[in-house]
Amino acid sequence: MKKAIVIVLLFACAGGAWWIQRGDGRSHASATHTAAPSPAAEMIVAGLGGFRGIASEVVWFRADRLQSEGRYGELAQLATWLTYLEPHTPEVWAYTAWNLAFNVSVMMATPEDRWRWVSAGLRLLRDDGLSFNPANPELYRELAWLFLFKMGGGLDKAADYYKSEWKKQIEAAQMSGNWTALKMEPEKMKAVDDAYGKQDWTHPYASALYWGREGLSVATKLEHRHELRQIIYQTLMMETRSDPSFAVATLREMEATYREYQHPGLLDLINHFRRQHGL
């Protein structure tokens, strides 16, 4: 009987994924992973009842297998189901968004296709993951890291394209005065400017600071606070490279981090930064 249930669940997940995705992620993917579940998906999940936990375990097992095999396109489809089965488990959102933005995106041949997947991962965290888990610092950390490293950094060959696409979204919000679609609040943006220095909000670094600060406001565990503070001062360090006026705020954030997390390596970094900028 149990074996039959598992087989049914696997077919349900496979069939539901077709409804949700309708694409294999290998070419010109639409990356519609942040869309609401289809009626078919909702019906399947609701119908699982007490077997929902079993279904989740089956999907996790299959997802781990696909990841170990590097089959990220299929994994992206399957991982979507995890967000439906366990919406209040932050690890599910972080796991899925990371695969979309970091693993699947680099399989794409063009910057346009890469951006679709990066954007999908971003929206999955910001629009969906945080709506189910608004006080989880790990999701804010993942979102801030995506802005800092994936979109703002220079390691991805399509990073300049990401920046240009993000700039379009910010400029549209600035023109309309409506920040709802980006889940940002002008008052909190002003608080970032006041705390760290006037930001260029069209650059992903500003959003890294915004979401890092949001995460810090709900973080209670020392490890989470350290991770979020680290993202904040690392972002400010990157900004200082092009504008030395951010050096004072950077040092202040580094010292605040050290007061909470007194690591010798961080103290060495602080002293080096002081000498470098004459502070």
Task: Summarize pLDDT for 26-63 with one digit per residue, the tens.
Answer: 333 344 344 444 444 444 444 444 444 555 555 555 55
Residues 105 and 184 in one domain: no
Give dist(CA 126, CA 94) in Å, integer. Answer: 11
pLDDT computed for residue 155 by the predictor: 84
Residues 150 and 268 in one domain: yes
The sign one gets for the Cα dihedral 105, 157, 113, 31 is positive
Number of domains in the chain: 2
Residues 89 and 44 in one domain: yes
DSSP per-residue letters across 115-132: HHHHHHHHHIIIIIIHHH
Residues 99 and 150 in one domain: no
Cα–Cα distances in Å, from 166 out to 99, 147, 172, 278? 20, 10, 10, 34
Task: Summarize pLDDT for 238-271 with one digit per residue, the tens.
Answer: 999 999 999 999 999 999 999 998 888 999 999 9
Q: Which of 77-86, 104-113, 266-275 has the lowest mean pLDDT?
A: 77-86
Give dist(CA 253, CA 29) in Å, integer. Answer: 40
Both tokens of 61, joined, read 């097992």
Both tokens of 77, joined, read 């489809």
Number of H helices, E strands in the chain: 14, 0
Residues 94 and 142 in one domain: no
Mean pLDDT of the chain: 81
Residues 100 and 231 in one domain: no
112, 146, 176 - which closes a domain = 112
What mean pLDDT do residues 4-33 have?
A: 40
Residues 149 and 11 in one domain: no
Comparing 154 with 30, the larger pLDDT belongs to 154
Residues 230 and 152 in one domain: yes
Residue 51: phi, psi to the nearest 5? -90, 5
**Within-domain flag for 127:** no
**Within-domain flag for 212:** yes
Both tokens of 206, joined, read 């500003």
**Within-domain flag for 99:** yes
Give residue 33's domain range: 1-112
Both tokens of 172, joined, read 């549209």
**Within-domain flag for 16:** yes
Residues 81 and 181 in one domain: no
pTM of the model: 0.79
